[in-house]
């Protein structure tokens, strides 16, 4: 599926001039491994949403609240809105939905009478940790099996790959449709 030659036989996208066939094949293996990782992440994300009976934005909000709870940080609806990149109206609907489901609690801010804080409930925190969190934590062990030098190489590669596919300068991706 991710074979470089199969996807671009005429080299219209990728100029492979001067590259050895073995190098192109190895790069295809890297692309295939990245595809397998994305597919595993997609399955894990879908399973976690089904288990928690939540959508992707809800899950991202809960993860934000979990990280904040670990740091003992107070979280306001505005911070959630900013983190998720959604409007305050959408944040209110999201928090209403999560509160109704018993996933979050809203409380008065301890120092700002005009503000609210939002925290994840212990039950939801525990459920997320023991399912999705436990599965996600396995990534650590894969990275730990690498040497420091290998981790540096992987980190550099992943950041370079992210930079290569970033859409910041692509006008076709900025169009609203």
Q: pLDDT (tens digit, 9 = 90+) per residue, 4-45?
A: 999 999 999 999 999 999 999 999 999 999 999 999 999 998
Q: What is the distance between the alpha carbons of residues 107 and 74, in angstroms, rounded to a whole number?
A: 10
Residue 15, classed as helix, strand or coil, is: coil
> What global pTM score does this model have?
0.79
Q: What is the distance between the alpha carbons of residues 169 and 149, in angstroms, rounded to a whole number?
A: 32
96-150 residue pLDDT tens: 999 999 999 999 999 998 999 999 999 999 999 988 888 889 999 999 999 999 9
CA distances from 40 to 55, 145, 151 (A): 18, 19, 21
Q: What is the distance between the alpha carbons of residues 49 and 43, in angstroms, rounded to a whole number?
A: 10
């Amino acid at each position: 599926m991710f074979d470089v030659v199969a996807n671009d036989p005429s080299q219209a996208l990728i100029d492979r001039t001067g590259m050895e066939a073995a190098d192109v094949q190895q790069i295809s293996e890297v692309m295939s491994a990245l595809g397998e990782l994305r597919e595993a992440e997609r399955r894990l994300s879908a399973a976690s949403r089904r288990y928690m009976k939540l959508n992707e934005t809800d899950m991202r909000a809960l993860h934000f609240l979990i990280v904040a709870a670990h740091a003992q940080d107070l979280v306001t609806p505005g911070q959630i809105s900013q983190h998720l990149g959604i409007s305050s109206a959408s944040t209110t609907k999201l928090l209403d939905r999560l509160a109704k489901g018993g996933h979050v609690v809203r409380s008065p801010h301890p120092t700002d009478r005009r503000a609210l804080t939002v925290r994840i409930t212990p039950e939801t925190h525990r459920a997320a940790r023991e399912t999705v969190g436990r599965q996600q934590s396995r990534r650590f062990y894969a990275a730990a099996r690498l040497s420091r030098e290998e981790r540096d190489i992987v980190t550099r590669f992943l950041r370079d790959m992210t930079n290569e596919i970033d859409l910041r300068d692509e006008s076709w991706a900025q169009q609203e449709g």
